[in-house]
Each structure stands twice: as structure tokens, then as C-alpha cells.
Amino acid sequence: MSISGGAIKRSLAFGLFDAGETALGAILISTLFPLYISNHIPTKVYTLLYGLSMVVSFVLALLLAKVADEKSIRKRLFSTFGILTSLFCALIALSLKNPYLGLLVFLLMLIFKQQSLVFYASLLGGFEKRGLTSGIGVSMGYLGASLSLVFFAPRLELPSGALFISILFLALLLPAVMILDEPKKLNQEISILKVLKSKKFSILLLSCLLVMEVASTMSAIMGIYLKEVYNLEKKEIYLTIAFSAFGGVFSGPIFGYLTDKLGPSRIFPLSFILWACFLVLLFLTPKELIRYLGLFAGLCLAHLWTSVRALIIHNSEGDFATKMAMLSLSERLSMSIGPIIWSLLLTLTLDNYRLSALLMVIFPALGGFFYLISRRV
């Protein structure tokens, strides 16, 4: 599989944005701003407004994606919302004297960032080696998160931290703005209702949602799980999670290459097997081996995020942005529903963390079942 120098340059530009977006999430969205705003506004109010901003993002992304596909302006919208994200990130630093104004600017930045992510993912349709490009993006995203948490996050404070991450994000965005191409023109009107009524795509999306439930839930609760089950200290937890990131950095391009070589329809189903194996191993693994299981978790995550984007693009007929918006909605749903299901399982098992995690094996099993159905429709 030969790759030209131009293709490599475009893939790296694609990956750099993934690194910048992940760094923004790790430093500002997950760490600095929540720590700041929790001192001024009740946490329940902040989380409610955060959730509502995501709802606005999904509706807006779906409406804009339809227009973007019909008029072939995906890159233009990606560039516009990417630059707006950087701008409003910088404006956060200037608005913090009034916490409510700061929160408003932050929520607008979140909405713009979500739009840029949808149109960024749709640009994958313009690549010949979509799997490898997606894998490079996943790899650089994990690398960006790891470096951000280790080297930047502990040293940054608001408001200067917002300015720093704004500049960093813009620097990693610009190569994609300048180098990436607009995917092919569709030349037909898109009906969102028709896409939703597509039995094959709807069942395929459901299978993706079910396996993403496990990935999102495990990512959200893993720190607590390691503390409660293995009694790990904070430093040991960070090291285990760092091993997970390394697994993602190195396996992303490998799974991307295999996706291009064998096809996303053959590679993606491995997610159901990998996550089922992970949950069984999590139930059985002793404390001294948990760090290596973290490495395997990173491999599972890299495989899922690399192959699922390529799979959705593969099952698109030029409506890349519209279907990527739906995948994004599924991903956010998994982040919302997963922790609720986890709480219910803990209640049913009387706070047995190991057993609760093992019971989640039903999700990849159901996901695999629905995936097989989607192939036969």
C-alpha cells in the first residue's frame, strides 16, 4: 500500500487537529474551567447548562450537516467553527471577572467546538486511506491528551491557561484549514428523515451505540474503579491510565492500516470481541497486572474510534457530515446513558464493582448481534 507525500501531509494535518481538540478538552473543558466555575456556581447548575449546550449542539450540527453535504461546504464550516472555538477560548480569559459571562462564553465555545468536530470527521470522506488517516488522528489525539495532562495541565491556571490553550488549538487547527480538501460534491438534496428511516443505517448506528456505551462508561469510571477495587493511590491511577494512552498511540495507525487493507466492515466487528474480552479480564485481573490491562484498554479504544469513523464514511453516499452528526449524537448519548446504567448495576449488585463491570458484557454482545442484522438488511 503506497502512500504519496501529499497524502502523508494531509493525514498529519488531520491528526494535528485531533491532538489540538483533545488537548483543549483535557486542559480547559475537563480541568481548568470546571475547577474555576464550581467556586462560583452550583455544580448541578453548571452540569445542567453543559448538558443543554450539548443538546443545542446536536440539533445545530444535524441541520448544518444537511446544508454542508448538499452545498459541499464541510471544510468551510469546519474552518469557521474551528476558528470561532479558538476565539471564544481566548475570550474566556477576558470574561472571568463575571462568572456568569464566563460561563456563557464557555458554553458558546463548547457549541462551536462540537460543530467543528462533526465537520472535521466528515472531511475523512476526502481521503483514499480513510482507516490509516483515522488511526493517525486517534493516535495523535491520545498523544495530545497525555502530553497535556503531564506537562501542561499541572502548570496552568485561569485566565492565562485559556489564552495558552487558545493559541495551541489554533496552531494545531491551521494545518488542517490550509491543507485538507473538501470531499466530493453530492449533487442531491438530503432528507434527514430519510436517513433516519434507513433500516440498515439505523441498526448499524445502534450497534455502534451499544459498544460505545462500554467504552464511554469505562472511560468515565475507571479512576473510581481502580481506587475502589484495587485501592490504588492517585499516582498509580495516573500511571495505569497513562499506559492506556500509550496503547492508543501505538495501535491507532496499525488498526487504521488494517481497516484500509481489509475494509471497515471486517475490522470494526472486532470491537465487540475486544470489549467483551476486556470486561472479562477486568473481572479476573489481579492488582499486579492491572497496568497491562490498561494497555489493552487503550488498544480497545483506539480500535473502536479508528474503525467506527471509517465505517460510517464507508456507509455514506456523500452525506458524510449528516451521518457523522448522527454518530456524534450516538457518542454523546453513550456518555449520558452509560453512567446511569452503571449506577443501576452497582445498586443491583450491592456495590460490587467487579460484577457490575462484568455484567456490561451484554452491551458488546447485543452490539454484535445488531451488527450482524445490519449486514443482512
| pLDDT tens digit sequence for 92-124 | 999 988 999 999 999 999 999 989 988 888 887
User: Do 163 and 199 sit in the same domain of this protein?
Assistant: no
Is 188 inside a domain boundary? Answer: no
Q: What was the pLDDT predicted at 373?
A: 94
User: Do 234 and 150 sit in the same domain of this protein?
Assistant: no
Burial 70-88 (b: 16+ CB within 10 A, else e): bebbbbebbbbbbbbbbeb
Domain boundary among 179, 211, 234: 179
Q: What is the pLDDT averaged over residues 23-49? A: 81
300 vs 280: CA distance, rounded Å: 13
User: Do 173 and 259 sit in the same domain of this protein?
Assistant: no
Q: What is the pLDDT averaged over residues 46-55? A: 80
89 vs 169: CA distance, rounded Å: 9
Nearest by Cα to 149 from 299, 297, 23 = 23
For the ranges 79-88, 128-137, 236-245, which has the lowest average pLDDT?
236-245
User: Do 290 and 338 sit in the same domain of this protein?
Assistant: yes
Is 33 inside a domain boundary? Answer: yes
User: Do 174 and 301 sit in the same domain of this protein?
Assistant: no
> Would the pLDDT of 84 be above 90?
yes
What whole-number percentage of the chain has pLDDT above 90? 32
User: Do 136 and 238 sit in the same domain of this protein?
Assistant: no
| Mean pLDDT, the chain, integer | 85
CATH number, domain containing residue 213: 1.20.1250.20
Is 187 inside a domain boundary? Answer: no
- Other CB atoms within a 10 A radius of the CB of residue 133 amount to 30
Which of 81-85, 156-160, 330-334 holds the top average pLDDT? Answer: 81-85
Count the domains in the chain.
2
User: Do 165 and 209 sit in the same domain of this protein?
Assistant: no
Is 40 in a helix, a strand, or coil?
A: coil
Q: What is the pLDDT averaged over residues 70-83? A: 89
User: What cell does 201 get?
Assistant: 443505517
Is 185 inside a domain boundary? Answer: no
**What's the domain range around 95?**
5-179
Q: What is the pLDDT averaged over residues 264-290? A: 93
Q: What was the pLDDT predicted at 1?
A: 46
Is 186 inside a domain boundary? Answer: no
User: Do 153 and 44 sit in the same domain of this protein?
Assistant: yes
